[in-house]
Amino acid sequence: MDSRESTFMAETMTLIPGRTTKQGVGLLESKFKKQYRDATTTVEINVEDMARLGLKDGCKVRLRSANGVTTVKCTGRKTEDLPTGVLFIAYGPPTSKLMGTDTGASGMPLSKHLEVELERVN
């Protein structure tokens, strides 16, 4: 991370990874092509949070959990669709970097409701 990138304030939010139609269609085409890559590297953010953080659609944000870090671009969702402080992203390689490793003796690592720090990159 260079010094310019670290000047933006990080904010703690809750990330919900899930499935989307675009991701599903994309993986059928190829996981190495644009549609899947775009679907899995775009995080949805509440528009009020975006305004407060000075973010616009397409801005890059860094998501950091206790387990790893990834950089994705953002897009806005209305407050009635996505509450403030909550993020949504389609499952894919970026979410793998953020997921935990402890399955609590269930086989299932916590894959939703991940606490992440969100920070603007550019």
Partner 1 sequence: MGAATEAKSEANIKTVENATCTFCGCLCDDMVLTVDMDAKKITKAKNACVLGKALFLSHEEEDRPFALIDGKPATLKEGVEEAAQILANARFPMFYGMSDTTCEAQRQNVALVDMVGGTIDSTTSVCHGPTGMALQGVGESTATLGEIKNRADLVIYWGGNPAESLPRHFARYAVTAKGMYTPNRKKDRTIVNVDVRRTKSVPVADIFIQVKIGADFELLWALRALVKGRHVDPNIEKRTGVSLETMKDLVERMKNCRYGVLFFGMGLSMTRGRHFNSAAILSLASDLNEYTHFIATPMRGHGNVTGADIVVSWQTGYPFGVNFSRGYPKFNPGEFTATDMFVRGDADAGLILASDPGSNFTQAAIDHMKKIPMIVLDPKLTHTAKLARVAFTTSHYGINTGGTAYRSDGVPIELRPCLDSKYPSDEEVIRAIYKRVEQLLKTRKKTKGTNNKRRKAA
Binding mask 63-82 for partner 1 (x = CB under 8 A): ----xx-----------xxx
Cβ-based neighbour number of residue 120 at 10 Å: 19
Nearer to partner 1, 84 or 122 (CB): 84
To which residue do tokens 């490793």 refer?
A: 101
CA distance 89 to 53: 18
CB distance 85 to 13 below 8 Å: yes
CB of residue 73 to partner 1, shortest distance in Å = 19
Q: Does position 93 bind partner 1 by CB under 8 A?
A: yes
Which listed range, 2-10, 29-37, 48-56, lies at the site for partner 1 (CB under 8 A)?
A: 29-37
CB of residue 41 to partner 1, shortest distance in Å = 13
CB of residue 23 to partner 1, shortest distance in Å = 9
Residues of this chain that interact with partner 1 (CB under 8 A) are: 14, 16, 18-21, 24-25, 28-32, 67-68, 80-83, 86, 88, 91-93, 95-97, 99-101, 103-113
